[in-house]
Amino acid sequence: MKEPIISVRNLVSKYGEETILEDISVDIFPQEITVILGGSGCGKTTLIKNILKLCEPHSGSVKIFGKEVTNMDEAEFNRILEKIGMVFQNGALLNSINIFENISIPLEQHTDLPEELMGKIIRVKLNLVNLGKAEYLLPAELSGGMKKRAALARAIALDPVILICDEPSAGLDPLTSAALDDLILKLKTLLKMTILIVSHELASIHRIADKIIFIDKRKVLFSGTLKEAKSSTVPELATFFRVGKFE
């Protein structure tokens, strides 16, 4: 049995007095694509925020690479973060600088590499996401799909072990979404990454998911393979795979 690369146990997360996640336990395994599913407001993004220490859990355990991170100091956790790439739902590119400069940010923050070598790394990453000719364009000059790919290039700048994506296909047309899925699969294979994705795009899930985690009413109601998810008797999950939306 493979050891999980991320392990969450009995996690409780609250905003003020309101409980958002209750007794969450999930494992994310190496070099798999795990998709977190659930209706709006169910706590999918909150789970990601707890893993990344963007919010502190009320109680419970989060281990990354076998190390408990909930009580880590900032310096120690920053060393963990250097091995994690993040793609935000809106891409989170800085509009005032070009794509090359956007992708240079993690390299400048976390390495002491000479400028020439950083430039070579940035161009390799841009070519990996098929944006080799866009390095001097501003984000406003890119299409929606190109912005997502640029955000991916920045997320993989440091060759992360783990890639986390929040709704990567949101707002994209079906063809662009399919191309982005193909790119994610390519990056998983080439860079041997573990990928954790928040999504509710049914076609995308069918293309890329190895495992599914389904959250509803603050709890994990299902965790298993895509094949198992498609035959699940959990009513909300069964409805999603039948009609493509949660009811």
| Residue 219, pLDDT score | 92
Handedness of CA 161, 166, 167, 169 (dihedral sign): negative
Question: What per-residue confidence (pLDDT) applies to 91?
Answer: 64
pLDDT in tens, 11-34: 999 988 889 999 999 999 999 999
CA distances from residue 192 to 14, 187, 225, 244 in whole angstroms, order as listed? 34, 7, 19, 30
Task: List the pLDDT tens digit at each of the 247 positions of the chain.
Answer: 689 999 999 999 998 888 999 999 999 999 999 999 988 778 888 999 999 998 888 999 999 999 999 988 989 998 999 899 998 876 678 889 999 999 999 999 888 899 999 999 999 999 988 888 888 999 999 888 889 899 999 999 999 999 999 888 877 888 888 998 999 999 899 989 999 999 888 889 999 999 999 998 889 999 999 999 999 999 989 988 887 776 6
Query: Tell me, what's the pLDDT at 1?
Result: 64
Three-state DSSP at 89 gives coil
pLDDT at 42: 81
pLDDT confidence of residue 80: 92
Residue 122 CA to residue 52 CA, distance in Å, equals 24
Specify the pairing of strand 219-225 against strand 211-216: antiparallel
Q: What pLDDT score does 110 carry?
A: 87
Q: In this structure, which topology does domain 1-83+162-247 adopt according to CATH?
A: Rossmann fold (3.40.50)
Q: Which part of the chain has CATH 3.40.50.300?
A: 1-83+162-247
Say which amino acid occupies 49.
K
User: Would you tell me how many other CB atoms lie within 10 Å of the CB of residue 139?
Assistant: 20
Q: Which long-range contacts (CB under 8 A, 24 or more apart) does 220-225 make?
A: 220/24, 220/25, 220/26, 223/26, 223/27
